[in-house]
Amino acid sequence: MKYTLAAFADEASPLLKNQIKAMKENGVSALEIRGVDGENVADISKEKAKEIIKRLKDEGLYVWSIGSPYGKIGLNDDFSHHLDKFKRTLEICDILETKHIRLFSFYGAENRFDDVCERLEKFVTAADGTGILLCHENEKGIYGDIASRCLEIHKTFPQIKAIFDPANFIQSGQDTVKAWDMLGSYVEYMHIKDALLDGSVVPAGRGEGNIPYILSKYKGKVLTVEPHLSVFDGLDKLEAGEKSKIFPYTYGSPAEAFKAAVDAIKDIVENMP
């Protein structure tokens, strides 16, 4: 495979042991760590981080990125505490041996770019000299939810690279091809998530994300699978006729949804010219 697959394996299970199991069963070698054993990555201790990296290494796996929640607060929320946690998570990056950390550009910020810049500047300053790359994800409802505003961020802060998430753009009413044309040169890696025009998340290639086209332009090496697929508890107990009435991309367990998401991107990559 021409790409390295990473994943938000907490969508397969909240438990690290089961995340490792899902990764190995599905040929995913890297973890974008977000939630583990009931804790958000922003809250884990240094001791827990040491345990995580040891267990991953023992299984031949590694951490690709910290899927942090930083910048996923309102502009009127307490930023000083948020920044202190960010600085602590930079130390966790070192323990987990990763050079990437995901961040966002704040809620309630559509007409407040100066305020967004003031806070992003503090993230950049905190990370300066650490060798850790800050990566902004386009997320619905934050300042950088559409391509033009993402572009403002990357032009203002060339130190901040882009995470390109097709589904998030669709959910924000943004055409993904136009978004790629604007942002492709800033993209460090992709989140593989697709969606229909109504915002429903579907396996890669089944929605309006133009993922095969974007991959044909993508020069990076890592794809993070972020399933976000619907799980229906008890789906396995339904008769076939009843199942057919349910949204077609619905799965019987988180592990099944995780596998479907990984299989979908593998299928696209394997059939690329």
Right CATH number for 4-270 from 3.40.50.150, 3.20.20.150, 3.40.50.300, 3.40.50.2000? 3.20.20.150
Q: Whole-model pTM?
A: 0.95
**Best CA proximity match to 169, nearest among 152, 145, 153, 198:** 145
Task: Quote the distance between the C-alpha of residue 243 and its chain's center.
Answer: 30
Instruction: Judge contact between 136 and 162, C-beta under 8 A.
Output: yes
Tens-digit pLDDT string for the chain (273 aa): 789 999 999 999 999 999 999 999 999 999 999 999 999 999 999 999 999 999 999 999 999 999 999 999 999 999 999 999 999 999 999 999 999 999 999 999 989 999 999 999 999 999 999 999 999 999 999 999 999 999 999 999 999 999 999 999 999 999 999 999 999 999 999 999 999 999 999 999 999 999 999 999 999 999 999 999 988 776 566 555 655 555 778 898 999 999 999 999 999 999 998
Q: Describe the crossing of helices 79-95 and 46-58 by its angle, rounded to 10 degrees.
A: 40
Structure-block tokens of residue 75:
């502009």
Q: Are 55 and 89 in contact (CB under 8 A)?
A: no
So where are the chain's domains?
A: 4-270
What angle, 0 to 180 degrees and rounded to 10, lies between the N-to-C axes of helices 16-25 and 46-58? Answer: 30
Alpha carbons 172 and 190: distance in angstroms, whole number: 17
